[in-house]
Structure 1
Amino acid sequence: MNGRAEREKIYVALGNNVLEGIHTLAWTLSKWHSHPISIIILHVKYNNTCNHLSTLLGNFPEGIACDVKMERIRKGEEDKIDKMLSKYISFCDNVPAEILDIEQFDEPVQKRTIDLIYGLGITKLVMAFSFMKASLKQKDAMNAMLYVHKQKPGFCELFFVCEGIQVFLREKDNDETVMEDDNGVTVARMKDNNNKSIAKWCLERLIFSNSRSIDSDPTSSSSSSVFPLINQNLWEFYLREIENYYQELLSLNLEEENHNSDFPPSQYESLREELNEAYNRIQTKRKEAKQNIERHEKAEWAIWFCNRREEELENRIKEEVAAREELKKELERKKEEVDEISVEVEETKKMVIQVSETERQQRKVIEVKTQILGEIEELRKQRIMGRSRRVVAEAVNNNGCCVFREYREEEIVVATHSFWDELRMKGSVGGWSNVYKGRINGYTVAIKMLNSLPAFSQLHYFLAKVKILGSIRHPHLVDMLGFCSEPKCIILEYMDSGSLGDILHCRVRKWSLWWHDRIRIAIEVCSGLGFLHESQPRPIIHCRIDPSNILLDHNLVAKITGFGLHGCGEECNVGSDVKAVGVLLMQLLTGKRNFLGMVREDILDGSGGKWPLDVAKEVEDLAKRSMSNEDMSIARVMEELNEIRRKHDSIAWTRID
């Protein structure tokens, strides 16, 4: 196992030319014969469908053949490729080898090759010329090889092999790219006719290799070569004869000019015409000889191709006969299995019908149960709202004046379960506050303890504060329902949804506020603050407007708490509350504490839906003016927020629909 792990992977990219593929593998095995290696053969698997019919007379549209014939042709092409890949594997003999198919769609082969080099970490890649030539024209194949040569990473060694010979891509001083073999012979130039130069070089290499094989093995048959050596000998024979004849004519012409310089002009012109005619005949003979060689080569190739196809067809017929017998046996087995499955299917159908009926009945039960639970929840909410309204109503006498009930210490202890920590509500910064959740006369209330505040140590000061707070009633201010003199505390209405800070700043959020709801909450806060600022004989300053002092009921309606209990310094005024509202607007935009920077799209809090950028810009501008402009008032801030909401109501209703 250690020996196998130490083998170096050599990637060999081969096309559909079997002869060239064998030559390339032979070159690879020869180069690394002294090293333990394994070979991974890269082969492009083209996904384009067969849209033509290949015959000896050329390619015809697939419409001339039926679908069965076209499917047989496709299957034949796949079998041919499988046999070719099997030959590649067999040729590697004892060297471990495997096939890696490359799926090819619209992406060029050269770019797919670069992706594979990076993706597989290929350090050694041998590429046959036919690998690019299979899907590109000759010139495009050269460009593709040059692209891979330039774009490959430094850790990858790239070898180009053509007909079993390594070739190199070199750039000349005149920006001309040439392909040379290992002897420095130019195979092709990027500006020349690459088809002719490469074909000529391949022909010379093939003839040279055939001549060497014939010299080394006298018993080998000449008919096994695609391009017979006799054609080259015939061409050389014609070429020598023509050249000798041409030189002979030139020598005769020179002798005539030396010894008979006094020939008349007419005879001189006659000789010139004969010489030109001879030259033209030479050129004609050259073309005819070359055409004869090409026709002979094509005929030899056609014969070889037909023989190969005949062998393949015979083998395929044998395989088809054997496969047909096997299919008959398999068909009998499948028929028996189908009969067994049919019986099972009938039984399964009966069971499915029974299960479906059971599920239908269960769905009905679940729907009824869901409907009942919904009605129960709605009744519970209505009951809670009714209790809250009755509690508030009890605090108002028939003349419309507010009255309060003074609770005894025993009632407060019972309501808070002796100030049980489990009923203590968390503060704005994660600590514990001095507010307890309790139940008095069946109603849920919030009990705020004031003993810890030094200002309330005197009873007359405490009672004065209670009287002021009890006289304040507004839809967006938390109502006070009663008080207790000892211990000093006030009883407030309970807000089901907690504080705005819980929604904006908690990691685990129970609700997500949509941008339109956030603007509405800001308007409701401004409404409550405006009511406090208009109090007589002097305005009530809150001084601590932040998300923790803004509570939400079960309908997410905002109410302000914490007003009128704390003494305010000289720096507290109406303007400080306006600045606090500006900070609150920035927190509603971003969901972050104390964020005063430039608002960008990625900074906006999108937990409840994406903010429209124009709305966010208008709210940001209003927030910054509120924090910096001394002339801003709560009424003006509220007016501009209402204008923003009215302007963008169409966006909000479109989102709801």
Structure 2
Amino acid sequence: MEDMLYVAMGDSVKKNKSILIWALQNSGGKKMCIIHINQPATVIPMMGTKFPASSMKEKEVRAYRQIERQNKQKILDEYCRICGKMGVRPEVIHSDMDCIEKGIVELISQRGIRKLVMGAAADKHYSKKMIDLKSQKAIYVRLHTPPSCRIQFICKGYLIHTREGVLDEADVEVRSSQNSKPGSLNHLMTQSGGQNIGAAPSNAGRVSFYSESIASIDYTRGSRTDVSSLDGTEDPSTPKRRLDAQRGSDGCVESSTRYRPGSSYSTCSSSREVDTARNPSVRSEGTDNWLQSIELPHSNENLHHSSPPSVLDGSIDDTLYAKLDQAMEDAENARREAFQESERCGKAKKDAVEAMRRAQVSESLYSEEVKQRKETQEALAKEKEEIQKVKTQLNQVMEELQNALEKQSSLESQITESDEMVKGLELRMASAMELLQTYKKERDEFEAERDNAQKKAEELRRKQGEASSTKTPQFFSELLFSEIEEATRNSDPSLKIGEGRHGSIYKGLLRQTQVAIKMLHPHNLQDPSGLQHEVDTLRKLRHPNLVTLIGSCEEAHALIYEYLPNGTLEDRLSCKDNTPPLSWQTRICIATELCSALIFLHSYTPVSILHGDLTPAKVLLDANFISKLCDFGNCPPPSLDQSLKDNNITLCWRTELKGTTIAYLDPEFLLTGELTLKSDVYSFGIILLQLLTGRPPLGIAKELQFALDAGKLKTLLDPLAGDWPFEQAEQLAHLALRCCEMYRTNRPDLSSDVWTVLEPMRVSYGGSYSSSYLSSQEHSEPPSYFLCPISQEVMHDPHLAADGFTYEAKALSEWFDGGHTTSPMTNLKLEHCNLLPNHALRSAIQEWQQRH
């Protein structure tokens, strides 16, 4: 553990990268080990919110934990990649704990970690004056980690604080016992020193001081020593340099320590012990050679007659130090060879594992090949059986052929008899030809009469067509592909104004008129009949609150609609592009007009039309904020359910979920896979709740129900719409909740229940220009939007101008001929003077005129 540097890293690679780089630069060549404690999430995100893990299903929790493990592995791979760039291959220890700091302390205790690097605080807390820890995790680790571990706390690539580690009593006892073993260097020196008790006191002081200065660590039982001095960073020649520094001017060292027997030889022993404690290989391999090179004195007499050479007076030869350096070098070489051997062993183990893996792969391939061979043999056996069957069938065919030849001979004889019969029939045919001539004459007379009848019928059809064209003009046209490309500038992205599930919508100038061009997606073109079905449906529908289809281009797979400048209801409710919010009066009018359009579609004959994808994005607003429904007629013809409900057959559309927002979708559709007319009622109810509150659709019905029950409806009403009349707002809230009932049988009817509530509100609070299709059928006075803003008369040929208002074509032409280039309604300059026929409004005016 002392040769390993551990680094505690967090989840953010960006924030912890500086800690890892500091550790790599200051590792001193030690091995690296990355510690990562993962704290499992207690809440799991799902469907835009978070749920407690304890309330989730085990399968869902397992799936999320798997994602956590993958993310953790990516983080560890990134840390290893950073180490790899600096030439270090680290080890990795990771664990899952509910508390990160407790996990770090537990790992330190379990593995006996002696050196650790971790963060002191987040980078945002760093300052040059920072001298203490700012992280609660770092403070906890510093307080609870065993004292034997040395911890360095880093912040923003700087060392902020170091908690020095100390050796505990057990470690000191182990080192003391190793130094006192028989045969060890200290033991030998102590024995040799015991013979020097009679040495001259004059030398004892100097030698004793030399011994104490060399022995930088006192291995006494019960003492606690700083581990930082045992990390092997001190140069072996340090004791010698320290002695040289302590010498006086006369070459002697003043003695300030106690005299111990054998101190003249325990000096080298202590220095060697320190080095062997740092490097065990030196202790095992270099000690014996070094001891052999030292001649120990055997008697006190030698000390008296010839005093030993002393380093202090300069008489010791440097041979002893040379041998010591040689021993240390040999130990270093032995350690390096042992390390290389361990690397070779690890490589051999890896090669063995790889060989085992290859053997397993080969074994699996062999079993697969055996399986394939068995299957091939079975297939060959089956083919043999088939060949045998074919041979049997061939024999049967040969027998049938023989029978056919026999029948042929009999038929030839019958042919001969038939030839004789033919001659007789030819005579009869001659008489029949005469009758045929007579019949031809009669046929010619009948054909002439038929042609006359067809001409008369064609004339009647033409007259009827002219009469019907005066009532409902046929404006639908087939456009050229070149016109579509020119209008959209080859689908220029800057002209895109919308993206639907069926295609992209572009704003374009077609025949000098602003139009909206819907380019269908390629995946919607697999069924050409689908496009034709939508075109045939839309060209028959005329209603003031339905978007008008102007034309189509089959080659470009495009539909051309009238352009509505105020965008979708969804954009206006969210005030997109800083547009002003809709007033509550305008919202009541929009709800009434949307209800009118749905009633028209549901009551269409011979078969009702289901929208099936009703959202605020499908409701467009013109220049006067008149709402118009789009993207309808996409559902295929319905299938009749055999179950009768209230003596009426329920129409069911069996379809798939395609792009519909889940919040607007009928809940019964998720169970049955069938849409009904009441499915549109549910979507209408959600839109009505959004008009009231301005909130997102998900969960809005439950919020409003809780507010009504608690008497806090005013807190949910959209303040951007102005001051809602509370009674009407409460009435609309109850009506919307009825439309959003879970079961379709409990939802109200649009024409008898919803319309009777909305129409009186619109009449009381709606704007002067906003009206509806149904109300115009019940009053003799023409609606205000049937009148030309210039002449104030009912329009006969309504046209849409560049300002978004509809005028009588003749009156607007006279306005332009008078030299005006501004709008008669807004007095703003018009972008162009081109006009677009408003066929939907013309149809409504003509229908009103027929009724009144």
The TM-score by the shorter chain falls in which range?
0.3 to 0.5
Q: TM-score, normalised by structure 1?
A: 0.36
